[in-house]
Amino acid sequence: MKYDIHEFNSIFWDIVRKYDISDNNILRKIIHSYDVAKICYTTACKRKLNKDERYFCYVLGLFHDVGRFEQWKLYGTYEDAKSIDHGKLSADIVKNMNSQELFGMTDEEVQLLADSINYHTKPYLGNDDKVKYFNQIINNADAYSNVVESANGMHRISSDIEGYNEELLRAFKERELLVKYPPLTKLDKAIKSTACVYYINDQSIREEIIRNNYLDMIYENFSSGLSESESNMYNELIEDLKSTYLEK
């Protein structure tokens, strides 16, 4: 099919206008969606993909979190562990939209889009090379957007509870996905937001993080809300991440 970016932007707005866009929690997900779409498109250009593939990547980024709006409306949280798998919800919404002929994609294209969206926060264990390829693009773009948001202070500590989840800390040190661990304490929130850095394996994006000192900025933003002992522990985690990250 021939992709029309303006049409997809219009479809996206038809969805989000059903929600309260004056709510900052909704608004920041709208901004995040466009940011990820732009990163996906830029990555596709760097990889010299053809025009349709570049546009597909834009659509992938734009709709990767489309389930977030309903998640917030129904549960009042973006923590999947406390509510619903937003990747699967987003994929289901996308598949349902095409069944109503809003996308106009072929069944194969929709399945590729839905699978790439479904697994953007969890490992894809299937054998479809196309899903693996586009899943990698959306994973890196999503993580990078979250890194920049954390560095710029858009992700804040809402808890006043001290201490930390030992399982979450262990998973961070072992560079595991942390989606299944809800952050309960101040340090948990800082650690989970910082983990987005090591989800990235695209070299050009990694170089951007290094060049802009985003890890230092993330530490400064989150450490200000921690106690001295928590800040020291967090600093050790950051320094370890910086050294292992820079060595790769």
Q: Give 44-82 pLDDT, tens digit per residue.
A: 999 999 999 999 999 999 999 999 999 999 999 998 988
Identify the residue with better confidence: 3 or 230: 230
The rounded distance, in Å, linking the Cα atoms of 131 and 112 is 6
pLDDT band with cut points at 50, 70 and 90 for residue 94: very high
pLDDT tens readout for residues 222-235: 998 899 999 999 99
For residue 223, what is the enclosing H or E element?
helix 214-223
Integer Cα distance of 248 and 172 in angstroms: 17
CA distance 212 to 127: 36
In sequence order, which residues have a C-beta less than 8 Å from that of residue 135 and are 6 or more positions away?
115, 116, 119, 120, 124
Architecture of domain 1-154: Orthogonal Bundle (1.10)
Q: Are 226 and 186 in contact (CB under 8 A)?
A: yes
Residue ranges per domain, the chain? 1-154, 158-248
pTM above 0.85, yes or no: yes
pLDDT, one tens digit per residue, over 175-199 is 998 888 888 899 999 999 999 999 9
Output DSSP code: residue 19: S
